[in-house]
Each structure stands twice: as structure tokens, then as C-alpha cells.
Chain A
Amino acid sequence: MAKVEKGNGINEEVQVVAFKLRKEEYGFNILSVQEIKGLTDITRVPFTPDFIKGVINLRGSVLPVIDLKKRLGLQDTSYTESTRIVVVKIDDISVGMIVDAVTEVLSIDASHIDTAKSVSDNESTRFINGIGNIDARLIIMLNIDEIVGAPGESK
């Protein structure tokens, strides 16, 4: 079973915030998502890896923002009206993730989530927890821990 949830119950459901990156659909476990906000001014921060887009002002506090496409090694596309920043929180660290569009909140039965290994074996699977399958619609479940990375890694 996938690492997403315990997954031992038969009707275990995972709530997922689904969003688009290019043509594909991805998802974060809703428990990690704090809020979704529109694109605002992003201040570039020098001396950071290129996937760190910069920082934004989130109600008076400063929030780092990751360009998710860059982080996952996807091809860049320009920002549009539907571009959103999904604010996630993991171990006390809040981070914004830029996505092309947020589609909906879904419930996926845990038994419908396959491990990433069954799809691909390459390096980028470290960012992927599993793949949810709802009526042939595939949602790639992301591992936020890996994406945010240890603070040291992103220096």
C-alpha cells in the first residue's frame, strides 16, 4: 500500500487537493494544505536554488515560494490567470507552491492509490508518494517532505 495513509482499512479515504502542472494532475494530502491564494508579487531571493522562486507576503509574514514545475523538472510555462500558490505546512515550515491551476478537492479511496514504483523507477519518483486513480483520471500524489527538502539541502 502507498505511504500516503495507513491504508489498512477497507474504506480508508484520502482527501486530496488536486491541481494541474502543465497537462498532468497532481495532488497534496489536504492535511498539509493551509490555504490557496492567487499569485502576488514574488521577491526574488539571491543565492537560492532556482526552484525557489522567492518570498511573498502572507498576511504580514514572509513565506518562501517554490516553483513546483521547476522542482519536479517539468518544462516551464508562463503564469496565467489561473496560476495559484498552494500554501503547505510541513514540520513547522510553511511553504508556498506555485501550480498552474487548482482543480478540486477529491476523496480517493486508499485502495485506489498505487505506489509510484509500479509506474516508473527513475529518480524523480522520490517526489511521488503514489498515483491515485479515479475512473481513469490519474492524480499524482506528491511527497511534500521531499519537495520541501531539509532546510540544509536548499541552501
Chain B
Amino acid sequence: MDTNQYMEMFLEESREHLQSLNDGLLALENNPEDLSVVNEIFRNAHTLKGMSATMGYNRIAELTHEMENVLDLLRKEQLKMNETIIDILFKCVDSLEQMIENVGNGDAEDLVDVSELVRQLNAISSGNPVADKSAAETPPATAGPGNTIVLTDTDRSVIEKAQLSGLQAMHIKVRLADSCLLKSARAYMVMNALDELGDAVKAAPPVEDLEQEKFERSFEVILLTAVEEKVVEDALMSISEIDQVEIEVLEKKEHKETPAAKKESMHAPEAISKNVSEAPKKQAANSANHEKKIHAGQSVRVDIEKLDTLMNLMGELVINKVRLEQIGTTHRLADLTETLEQMDRVTTDLQSVVMKVRMVPVGQVFNRFPRMIRDLAKELDKEINLTIEGEETELDRTVIDEIGDPLMHLLRNSLDHGVEHPKDREAKGKPRTGEVGLIARHEGNNVVIMVTDDGNGINADVIRKKAVEKGMISQEEADNMDDGDAVRLVFLPGFSTADEITDVSGRGVGMDVVRSKIESLGGHVDVETKIDEGSVFKIKLPLTLAIIQALLVKVQEEMYAIPLGSIDSTINITLDDIKTVQNKEVIVLRGQIIPIIRLGDVLNVPKVDKAENEDIFVVIVHLGDRKAGIVVDNLIGQQEIVIKTLGKLLVGLKIISGATVLGDGRVALILDVGALM
């Protein structure tokens, strides 16, 4: 069978299930008694098993199968949760993650050796005296516990009521073909067909599970219908990929024979009516619940490229609109101008919607950290409480993809260098458990992500000393530096303060990588710290990378865009204001000496107008603490621009970070201020 086309789907869904497994296990670690979590994990493992078996990944299936066995015992309370089990389960999740990534990369799944884990799991599930071996080893593959319909009294009374009004109750068992890949779709078709014939009152596993493919090959339904058995069977068999349909008509007396039911129906009519009235209520509640669930999950996966295309088209639309507006004004067409005003509103809305579509909550990145923190805390023998806030804050998809690693570095740093060992903390009169925070929030047109800890803090003097030792700054510079600037030295390449290089951090790579990564995203990172109170690393990111505010400047006949984020100010000077220091041109602005860059020379702009301007426009830009003045011929104005890449052919250009399409349809290049300086 060609399963390639399902690969993408398999990978995405597996990753989701792994994430929920991770989350579940973390929750379980904090609250081992919570059976609902065990159930949740069990279902995840189970689905993963089903999916991987379908795709032919037997190792993954084998491992999840063993996990499932252990989880099954746990949820039946035949086994007690303990730390060893949790650890093993965590390791399983790690191995699964690796296997699935391998599979995704086109490697063999068995590059990861899981035999040891399988053995351990096996030992747990079989070594327990209470464990019902046969039950543990033959899980849902035949018929899982959830797969047989168990009728509650309420169900019975509903059935009875229907039977009294002349309907038939049928117990239908449907088995899907082994080759069936879209089980939920088939199940959905079956349910649909049944709904047309009558009223499907109960299903096992429940309908929600059927829709989420949380079942093996078969499921059962109780149907109340006026039609014959044969009709139902034919209707179901006409659906493709259905292997087998078994229908059993439930006899009326079958229920009346139940003494309890009989008693109720004969001697307690109120009880029945109560039951009956309760049933629909319950159903209503169920369906309300169900709808809510569906609503929450109502989303579509879209290839990011499609969104980019949408954005391009959007840009084109705006450009054409501007052209129409120009025509309207030139020819004084009032009708056209009016219509365009309407259109303007629509396009503005459209643009903001398209932008929003690209936004993803930061939670997508944050949710992998609790697990990492847990492992790291164990490894470092520290007690850590991680607080996450603002997961719902949204950022552009492209930023989300890139921000994970820098955040991981910062968190590792906080754990390793920031938070002290429990003993040291007690000695300082702090609580044993260190608090680490990961907070995201909006701040104007930016998103701020903070990594906080209540640990050591960074000692500015230590940093100064280190920097001088490493020859990064002179003693004199160090003495003149205020504490804030000194602490910021940690962002310089090759800086590491940890005396002891640990596995976790302190290899001198990290902070500078964090900084360059964030700056490449158009963001900025800063640190505030107080000795013995802790540190706050603050990352400021633009809401989106796709649209930025920029200043358009002109050099001869060429137009360039400078991102507003890196602009300090613009000034107007005369030729005389330019001085030279060691053959380099500089200007003096408010007592500060600022080197200047003649954009036309740097970019080899062909000279059209030979005459040198007496009036010179200088755009003062900054990168971190450094400043520079960019000399241009003219300032055109501030504008929102849509960033486009120059394409694969022109990758790796220095100084030019991208391009944008202007209102008149021309392309302007965007300057990379960092590279210019």
C-alpha cells in the first residue's frame, strides 16, 4: 500500500500525540493519583500505536504497545504509579520522538534501540502480582474494554420506550477492513447512514472517540429504527472498506427480564419518567459538550507557502488599488474615488485578516519547556518551579519557528547559572525551590518574552574582570562601564562566566548566539539583574516579520527601505559638518562621535546627478549600543512595507536583507543595518 501521501499527516499527528504524552506525564508526575490523566495518556499511546502500525512502523507500534500495557494496568489501578515508571515512560516518549523524527527524515525507525525499554516495560507489566496478565497482553487489539456496549439504566429505559412505540433496537457491530486508513471517516459515514435510518443512541467507543480515530478496527452501535435488519445491513455494507456488519435485534423482553428494570417499570412509573426525562437532558449535555469540542478543534492545516502566496496577492491588490486611486484623482472621477474608499476598507480588513492567519500562539514553543526544565532540574539536582504566562500571545509563524532555540539557551542558563542549589538557597534564606518564569506579553507593536529567575543574579564586577582577562575590553573601559553595560558583556561572543564548564551551558557559546538570532529576527535582547535576587532576560520581538515600518530613502535614482526599528533619528546637515577621524568620516551629534556611511558608495549606486548636495540627509541608526549615520540623498517617508525574499537565486547578499513592493509597483530593497555597520 502506498502510505507516502499519509506521511505528512502521520508525522504531524504523531508529534501532537507525543506533545500530549509529554504534558500528560508531567501532570501525572505532580499528581500521580489522577486517573483521568492516565486515561488520556493511554489514549494517546493507543492512537500512536494504531497510526504507526498502519504506517508499517512496527518498532514504534511495539514500544507504544508495551507502554499501553503498563498504562492499562495503571488506569485499572492494578499497578501503582511511581517515579521509576514515570521515568521509563518519559524515556519511551523520548525514544518515540526520535524514531518519529527519523522516520520523518526518511531514515529507518530502528536506528533507536528500544529493546531495553521494551524489556523494562514488560517487566513492569508482568512483574506485578496483581496484574492480570492475559488482560494486559491482549489489549484492545481484539476488543478493548471500551469496545463493548455497556447499557446503563438510562439507556435501557430509552430503548424500552422506543420499543414500546414500535421501533426496533438493534445492536450493530461494524468491522472496518484492515486496509482502511481513514477509519474516522468511515466511522463517520457509518454513523451518518445510521442516522438516516433511525436514531443511533449509543456507540462504543463513544462518537467523539470514533471521530478522533480512537478505536481499533471495530465499533458497536445501538440503533433505534423502524426499518428492517436487512435494510440496515445493506446500507452499511454499501459503504466501502467495511469488512463485516453484525446485527442483532434486541428483544423487548430481554430488558423487561432484568428484575431491576421490571420493578422500575411496573411499580415506579415516576422513576421511569424521571429516567426518561433525565436521558435527553444528559444527551443534550453530551451533545453540547461535543459541539464545544468540535468547535475548539475546528481548524485547518495550511501550508505556510500558501499563506505567503495569499499575502503576495494581497500586496498586489493593494498596489492596484493605489493605482486606481491615482487614476481617480488625476481624472477627477468622483464615482471611482467613492467606490475605492469602500474598497479601501475591505482591503485593509483583508490585510489584517491575512496577517492574523499567520499568527501562532507562543504556547506552541513554550509547551516543550516544562519537560526540558524537569529533566534539567533533575540532572542539576536543583528544585525548580517553572511558571509560564501568556502562552496565548501570538507571533508570526516565522518568528515562532526561530525563537525556540534562543529561549532554550536562556532557560538552560537560568537553571544552570541563575538558580542556586537548594542548600545554598536555604543558606541565603530563600525557599528551596527556585522560581523560573517564562512570560510573554504584548508591548505596543512588539511582543516581549521574558525569562526570569530568582537566583544568583549576575555580578557586574565578575563580568568586568572576566572580560578584561579575556582581552575583550581594556581595564580602563571596564572601569568606566556602568553595571548595566558590564552585565551586557555576556552577550559578546566567546564569553562564559561559569568557572566550571558543565554539560548544560557555559561553553561560551549561547548568549552571543541568542543575541544574534534574536537580532536576525529584528528583535532585541536585554538583561536586568540584581545580585541574589535574580535576573530577567527580556526579548523584544516585532509582532510580525512580514510587515514592518520602514523609512524609504533615495540615493540618486534608487529607492531603499530602512527598518524603522533600527532608526534613532534623521538629521539634516551640511557638508561642513562632516569631519574626519583617522581618515574615517564622522559627525558629532550631541557630543557623540558617530561614524557615517555613504550609502551611494557602499552600494555602488550609479551616479546620475553628479553635483554634490550641500544639504545632506543622515539617518542615524543603531545596533545594540553602536550608532552610525547613513548618508542618503533624500528622505521619502515612513511606510508600512511587506517584506519579501529575493529568492533562492540571490541568497546570501550582504547588506540587503530583502525587498518590498512599493505602492507604484516598483521593487525597493531593504537594508540590513547590522551588516551595513
Contacts and interface: CB of A to CB of B under 8 A. Distances in A.
Contact of A48 (B558, B605, B653): B653
Given A43-B558, A46-B603, A47-B656, A57 B649 contact: no
Given A41-B666, A47-B655, A62 B319 contact: no
A95 B649 CA distance: 8
B604 interface: yes
A154 B647 CA distance: 12
Given A43-B667, A92-B648, A94-B647, A60 B653 contact: no
Interface string A60-78: 1111100000000000000
Contacts of B666: 41, 43, 57
Contacts of A54: 667
A60 B319 contact: yes
A60 B316 contact: yes
B650 A57 contact: no
Contacts of B652: 152, 155
A47 B602 CA distance: 10
B665 interface: yes
Nearest to B662: A57
Given A55-B659, A57-B661, A57-B667, A62 B647 contact: yes
Given A45-B669, A60-B313, 5 more contacts: A45-B646, A57-B319, A60-B311, A60-B316, A151-B649
Interface in B633-667: 644-656, 659, 661, 665-667
A152 to B, nearest CB: 8
Interface in B304-329: 311-316, 319
Given A41-B666, A57-B665, A93 B647 contact: yes
A43 B668 contact: yes
B561 to A, nearest CB: 11
Instruction: List the 7 shortest-distance A-B pairs measured between CB atoms, nearest first.
Output: A60-B316, A60-B312, A43-B667, A46-B603, A60-B315, A62-B659, A62-B644
A59 B312 contact: yes
Contacts of A85: none
A55 B656 CA distance: 13
Contacts of A95: 649
Contacts of A155: 651-653
B655 A93 contact: no
A62 B667 contact: yes
B649 A64 contact: yes
Interface string A139-155: 00000000010011011
B326 to A, nearest CB: 16
Contacts of B316: 59-60
10 contacts: A43-B669, A45-B650, A45-B656, A47-B656, A55-B669, A57-B667, A59-B312, A59-B316, A60-B314, A62-B661
Contacts of A55: 646, 650, 659, 667, 669
A42 to B, nearest CB: 8
Contacts, number: 88
A52 interface: yes
Interface in B25-49: none
A24 to B, nearest CB: 25
A46 B604 CA distance: 7
A4 interface: no
A44 interface: yes
A40 to B, nearest CB: 7
A56 interface: yes
Contact of A47 (B311, B319, B653): B653
B558 to A, nearest CB: 7
Contacts of B653: 45-48, 155
A41 B603 CA distance: 19
Given A47-B656, A94-B647, A151-B648, A61 B665 contact: no
Contacts of A40: 665
A115 B346 CA distance: 56
Interface of A: 40-41, 43-48, 52, 54-57, 59-64, 92-95, 148, 151-152, 154-155
A54 B648 CA distance: 14
B310 to A, nearest CB: 10
Contacts of B312: 59-61
B667 A93 contact: no
Max chain A C-beta neighbours (<10 A), residue from B315, B646, B649, B651:
B649
Contacts of B603: 46
A154 B649 contact: yes
A52 B666 CA distance: 17
Contacts of B604: 46
Contact of B644 (A41, A61, A152): A61
B667 to A, nearest CB: 4
A132 to B, nearest CB: 27
Contacts of A62: 644-647, 659, 661, 667
A64 B647 contact: yes
A64 B650 contact: yes
A76 to B, nearest CB: 15
Nearest to A46: B603
A56 B654 CA distance: 19
Contacts of B648: 92-93, 151
Nearest to A148: B649
Contacts of B659: 43, 55, 62
Contacts of B646: 45, 55, 62, 64
B558 A151 contact: no
A79 B315 CA distance: 29
A44 B650 contact: no
A154 B648 CA distance: 10
B29 to A, nearest CB: 46
Contacts of A59: 312-313, 316
A92 B315 CA distance: 22
Nearest to B665: A57
Nearest to A155: B652
B126 to A, nearest CB: 53
A110 to B, nearest CB: 30
A56 B667 contact: yes
Contacts of B661: 57, 60, 62
B456 to A, nearest CB: 46
Interface string B103-123: 000000000000000000000
A93 B313 CA distance: 19
B516 to A, nearest CB: 21
A148 B652 CA distance: 16
A94 B646 CA distance: 11
Contacts of A52: 649-650
A44 B560 CA distance: 11
Contacts of B667: 41, 43, 54-57, 62
Contact of B650 (A56, A60, A61, A154): A154
Contacts of A47: 653-656
Interface string B7-22: 0000000000000000
Contacts of B319: 57, 60
Contacts of A151: 648-651
A130 B667 CA distance: 36
A46 B652 CA distance: 12
Contacts of B313: 59-60
Contacts of A43: 558-559, 659, 666-669
A141 B419 CA distance: 68
A54 B652 CA distance: 15
A62 B661 CA distance: 8
Nearest to A153: B649
Contacts of A152: 652
A62 B669 CA distance: 10
